Amino acid sequence: MIFSELYSAYYNSVAEIISKLIDGERDERVLRKIVSEKAFGESATTILPSLKSGKWQLVRHDMSTILKHKPTVPLTNLQKSWLKAVSLDPRVRLFGVSLKGLDDVKPLFIPDDYYLYDKYCDGDDFEDEGYISRFRFILSAIHDGVPIKINMVNKNGKEVYAKCMPLRLEYSEKDDKFRLITDGCKYLHTINLSKIRSVGYCGESFKHIEREVRYDTVTLRIKNERNALERCMLHFAHFEKRAEKVGKNEYLLHVKFDHKDESEIVIRVLSFGPRVKAESPDSFVELIKKKLLAQREQNLR
């Protein structure tokens, strides 16, 4: 069962607090910090008082614990079966770890039990040995915080070299691709992993380049016909957004997005047809109008 106290933030906090007490830590500020990091906004009013008062009989009045060992719990069947399911995914090879102790475990699901039906079909080749080794190299460089040099193919098909500080690997489920997010290189902030041909360490150090992400906010007017409201809200759910009801059946949705993704957002808005109208900013509305004008010229009958 997924919803179980075995996985609860309270149990995790108690385990951590008791470990600290066993180490001899009694400073209440340290214990309170554990609660604020591991549990919820109002947990401080419950967890420590319950331990101190003996409501949960694990800690004495002097804040020593009756337990003799730092608390640990083995993995549950559910956790093992999920790990087993993950071990069947082709991308697991990227991580170069063998999942041990799962031979007799039945997976929670197998790849055939689910289907990402609208994923693009030109995703990265996760089975390619070269790709796997470059992925691992970059991942280890991110952890070590060391700069790397990259040989890659640019969008014009030309081979180029770059030196940069690797920051993180960004994955898009829709594109089924990894991108490397970098620092220190003025012109290469995002690199498709599949474009990288070789990678190695580079002895140079890099100055951090401050990148200010330019955000735009588009305001959409939604007419709630043909379930457009729910479709639109779900479609844009992963952005920072705000919605308001402005009429009996009309809503305004303000969606904040990275300016670099503007063309993508334009076609996503168009995909809703006449149920969703872009109201502002004017520059965004003009892009939509331009597309519609061009469409009208096609004289589709």
Q: How far is the CB of 125 from another protein (least distance, A)?
A: 15
Residue 31 Cβ vs another protein, minimum distance, rounded to whole Å: 16
**How far does CA 252 lie from the centroid of its chain?**
27
Contacts with 118 (C-beta within 8 Å, 6 or more apart), sequence order: 174
Pick the closer one to another protein by CB: 185 or 243: 243
293-299 long-range contacts (CB < 8 A, ≥24 apart) are none
Task: Name the 3-class secondary structure at 246.
Answer: coil
Contact at 8 Å (CB) between 78 and 108?
Answer: yes
Q: Which is nearer to another protein, 65 or 202 (CB)?
A: 65
CA distance 150 to 163: 6
Other C-beta atoms closer than 10 Å to the C-beta of 256 total 13
- φ, ψ for residue 203 (rounded to 5)? -75, -5
| CB closer to another protein, 142 vs 188 | 142
Please, what is the minimum distance in Å from the beta carbon of residue 27 to another protein? 19
Closest contact distance (angstroms) between CB of 190 and another protein is 10
Nearer to another protein, 190 or 198 (CB): 190
Residue closer to another protein (CB basis): 161 or 256 = 256
**Residue 202 or residue 276: which is nearer to another protein going by CB?**
276
| 135 class by beta-carbon count within 10 Å (0-12 exposed, 13-18 middle, 19+ buried) | buried
| Measured CA angle at 28 (ends 27, 32), to 5 deg | 130
In the complex, the smallest distance separating the C-beta of residue 164 from another protein, rounded to whole angstroms, is: 15
Q: In terms of CB distance, is 162 or 229 closer to another protein?
A: 229
CB of 116 to another protein, least distance (A): 5
Taking alpha carbons only, the member of 59, 109, 57 closest to residue 83 is 109
CB of 295 to another protein, least distance (A): 5
Write the DSSP assignment of 139-193 as a string of letters. HHHHHHT--EEEEEE-TTS-EEEEEEEEEEEEEETTTTEEEEEEES-SS-SEEEG
